Amino acid sequence: MILRFLLFLCALANSSVHTCPRQCSCSFAEVECGDIATMTSFPVDALPSNTTVLSIWSTQISSLEASHLNTLPFLNKLNLYSNKLEKLPSDLLRNASWLSSLDLTGNQIVRLPPGVFSQKSLRNLVLKNNRIEQTDAEWFDDDSNLIWLDLSGNRLSEIPVNLFQKLKHLEHLDVSDNNLADLHPDALKNLYHLDILNLAGNKLSTLTPTAFSHNQKLSRLFLQENHFRELPPSLLLGPQNLQMLLLNQNQLQHLPAGLLDGRNSSFQLILSANPWLCDSKMEYLWRWLNEHSQNVFYLEEVTCAGPEPLKNRQVVSLSESELGLVR
């Protein structure tokens, strides 16, 4: 590996930039081609052979082949934002042995073939804002080294259990702004290194008590803008070191006793825009908010939706008698 890296550095040092695609800009090992409405095909013939970072955005490019990358043996980062790509070949990364980051944000991809992301060097993959309806475990090899996966802004209605079995090194997972109505109890079971999980902007209404029990390294969890009406008391027992939890813009009326217990002083929480019902079942959250007000963003927006006499009152401002706790 060390020898290979030294050869790589030597090749870069000895390579000279003789060409640059028309309307693009080229600096040492980096090429940018942006906002070019007349570009309809990948500029394969004019790219410097020593390119390590290639960014092409806002063009009319609709297809990409493995052969297009053959002339870029040292390519490490490929950004293809907001183009017209609809599909990718299964052998796309066959010879891209140095590629560690691939960003395909804002294209028109609906389906992807098996093996398309099987390159072992790939560590960061962004498929944000496409039209993907289904994920497939066969996109990846069994020994994938992926640590970052962004599938946000697509049309996913479910996540197959076997998808993440091949992504055991994953640290960042974003599936926000899809159509997920359910999360299989074992969907995240093999993600022992998961640090950031974004499930915001879906249609989730419930989670199993063990949904995150295997994700003990989870530090940030985004559950806002879903349809949650209640949460299991043991939901956060797995990720004991959770630093941030967003639950705003759901349908929560109460939080179960014990849900937020054991959080450290740096824990951050957002609870606004929920229809909190300020009755005796609010006791746990009311006491927690009063004891940990410094941990809550937008505390003043955590207000009662009912009963009518308490409507729009800040939860922390209530008394025991108003909550019906005085016996």
- Structure confidence by residue, pLDDT tens digits, 176-209: 999 999 999 999 999 999 999 999 999 999 999 9
Domain count, the chain: 1
How does 51-73 read in b/e, with b if 16+ C-beta sit within 10 Å? bbbbbbbbbebeebeeebbeebb
Q: Is the pLDDT of residue 70 over 70?
A: yes
Instruction: Please say whether the beta carbons of 104 and 93 come within 8 A.
Output: no
pLDDT for the residue 276: 98
Neighbours of 94 (CB within 10 A): 15
Establish if 2 belongs to a structural domain. yes
pLDDT at 17: 46
Dihedral sign for Cα atoms in the order 179, 182, 186, 192: positive
Q: Is residue 49, in this structure, part of any structural domain at all? A: yes
Burial of 175 (0-12, 13-18, 19+ CB in 10 A): buried
Give the tokens for residue 32: 């940018």
Is 113 within the bounds of a domain? no
Do the domain assignments include residue 245?
Answer: no
Q: What is the CATH number of the domain that holds 99?
A: 3.80.10.10
The answer to whether position 21 is within a domain reads yes
Q: Does 159 reside within a domain?
A: no
Residue 25 belongs to domain spanning: 1-78+89-103
**How many angstroms separate the CA atoms of 144 and 22, rounded?**
36
Look at residue 307 and tell me if it is in a domain.
Answer: no
Is 94 contained in some domain? yes
Contact present, 141 and 164 (Cβ < 8 Å)? no
Per-residue pLDDT reduced to its tens digit, 239-269: 999 999 999 999 999 999 999 999 999 999 9
Q: Residue 174 gets which letter from DSSP?
A: E
**pLDDT value of position 7:** 46
